């Protein structure tokens, strides 16, 4: 299943999306530059999924904020928190505070998704895009 199909498939189950309390999105600056349409889809998913979006990025938060300006302006009804990470272990240490059984985790890093599953951190659903 392609990334596009994975994201579109989520829209088919609106009851599932509405039962969530937020979306956790772990990405890279490179992914953002290459996949702006997918980023837009993730913002729309978070609008349905509890209106909360937690973004983890490698690189400067200010750089992400600049690149995401249009998305941020269009989604003022969504609570958005952006965290910066340098290595994968930082994300693993921060995610338990945010991982609840009622959140959706979307990661562009397969190694992160696998590590989260291995550690038994709970999210309702984990999707990795690669």
Q: What is the pLDDT along the chain (130 residues), one digit of tens a residue?
A: 666 677 777 777 888 888 988 998 988 878 877 877 778 888 888 988 988 999 888 877 787 777 777 777 777 888 888 888 888 888 888 877 776 678 888 888 888 888 877 877 777 787 877 6
Model's pTM, two decimal places? 0.84
Number of domains forming the structure of the chain: 1
Contact of 126 with 116, CB cutoff 8 Å: yes
Q: How many CB atoms lie within 10 A of CB 55?
A: 24
CATH number at residue 85: 3.40.50.11100
Residue 39 lies in domain: 3-128
């Amino acid at each position: 299943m392609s990334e596009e199909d994975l994201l579109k498939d989520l829209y088919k189950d609106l009851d599932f999306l509405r039962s969530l309390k937020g979306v956790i999105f772990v990405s890279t600056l490179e992914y953002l530059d290459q996949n702006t349409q997918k980023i837009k889809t993730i913002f729309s998913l978070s609008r349905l999924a509890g209106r909360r979006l937690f973004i983890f990025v490698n690189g400067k938060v200010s750089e992400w904020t600049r690149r995401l300006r249009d998305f941020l302006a269009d989604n003022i009804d969504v609570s958005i928190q952006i965290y910066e990470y340098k290595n994968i272990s930082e994300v693993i240490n921060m995610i338990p505070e945010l991982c609840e059984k009622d959140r959706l985790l979307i990661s562009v890093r397969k190694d992160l998704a696998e590590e989260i599953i291995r550690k038994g951190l709970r999210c309702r659903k984990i999707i990795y895009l690669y």
